[in-house]
Amino acid sequence: MEASVVCAHLRIRVQDPLLSTLRRRIPLSDYRCLRFKSSRRSCYTPFIRAQQPEAMKNSNVDSEEMKELGSGNPIDDIRMKQGITIRRRPTTGPPQHHVGPFEFRLENEGNKPQNILEEIVWNKDVEVSKMKEKKPLLKLKKDMDNALPPRDFIGALKDSYVRTGMPALIAEVKKASPSRGVLREDFDPIEIARAYEKGGASCLSVLTDQKFFQGSFENLEAIRSAGVKCPLLCKEFIIDAWQIYYARTKGADAILLISSVLPDADIKYMSKICKLLGMAALVEVHNEREMDRVLAIDGIQLIGINNRNLETFEVDISNTRKLLEGERGEIIFQKDIIVVGESALFTPADIAYVQESGVRAVLVGESIVKQQNPTEAITGLFGKDISKI
């Protein structure tokens, strides 16, 4: 029997009875890139749903949100329509050239990242593909069953806001960044996590990207195993649903979804996976268009406003207020969405500014992790002691 498969720039038909039984609507995150010799453009083949854990096989998480993909619109067109400029992977393979016995490659528009965020995403695409080969979802199922139970990330933020009357703190365990380099040479993730908790952090964010931030999933797992009570956000560049399951096996209670990287269908799909696993999803935005996209998605509970442009790494704290003014702020209030302020937060005045703008939580890393005593740094950041007495 013939089955139609939607591809990035074309529609192909294949003679495969297995594909005929696949559901028509398949999440963008569950498509794998293949290269055809006859074309430099990428097309996608579906990831077999049968490989998913029982919780996912019996769910309907990929139903209504996949109407657009099911309509046959090219994936690249969908992303462009939503204002997503970050390409998931190179659009062309690097051309090979030979001079005598030597081979070299020339960069071109298709295989050169246009900014640091795109470079991170391309690297993550290769990294995740390798990790999935070593540990497919079926193998993750056992690890998930043995993982420590998820904790209430959103509840912890709300409790802290009520207790202190100030934005709840998500303190970031972060060794380095592409823009700032190494932030702390004597980096002990467990000791830093404990210092944050002592200082009044309600939740922690743990960087897990190794290449660009010198983080690791081992750090995440170690902090959870060390008995730190703060719920943990896995700060990773999520491009594939597999990463959510993997983060859960390492003790994550929440994950980050970046709207400048993920189309709406992926955000919806991955958010529903989080709910099934008892996790929270922090959906990050930077501009008005991204905010409008996310506000149109049902069930969103956490929105992070990043004052840093991830494409240029420029920061502007007024970005928070701009995105929370007028009708957007009203919608957020009506939906009881917790807004998290991110980046450019260094002083009590900064905290007061974003709180007055409508923020109920802040995610802070650089300004406290660089200090010799992170516990005291939190008090300095808020202008008062916010620790639990």
The residues that are catalytic are: 172, 174, 235, 284, 306, 342-343
- Phi, psi at residue 214, to the nearest 5°? 55, 35
- Phi, psi at residue 142, to the nearest 5°? -65, -40
Q: Enumerate the β-bridge partners of residue 31.
A: 46
The rounded distance, in Å, linking the Cα atoms of 217 and 43 is 31
Q: How far is CA 385 from CA 154, 212, 340, in A?
A: 22, 33, 20
In DSSP notation, 42-85 reads: EEEEEPPGGGS-HHHHT--TTSGGGHHHHTT--HHHHHHHTT--
Q: 268 with 297: CB under 8 angstroms?
A: yes
Instruction: Judge residue 58's burial from the number of C-beta atoms within 10 Å of its C-beta, 0-12 exposed, 13-18 middle, 19 or more buried.
Output: exposed
Looking at residue 101, its amino acid is: P
- Residue 255: name the closest of 263, 264, 245, 265 by CA: 245
Alpha-carbon torsion, ordered 158, 164, 168, 174, to 10 deg: -140
Residue 207: Cβ within 10 Å count: 24
The DSSP bridge pattern shows strands 168-173 and 176-177 to be unpaired
Cα 48 from chain centre: 23
The rounded distance, in Å, linking the Cα atoms of 256 and 239 is 10
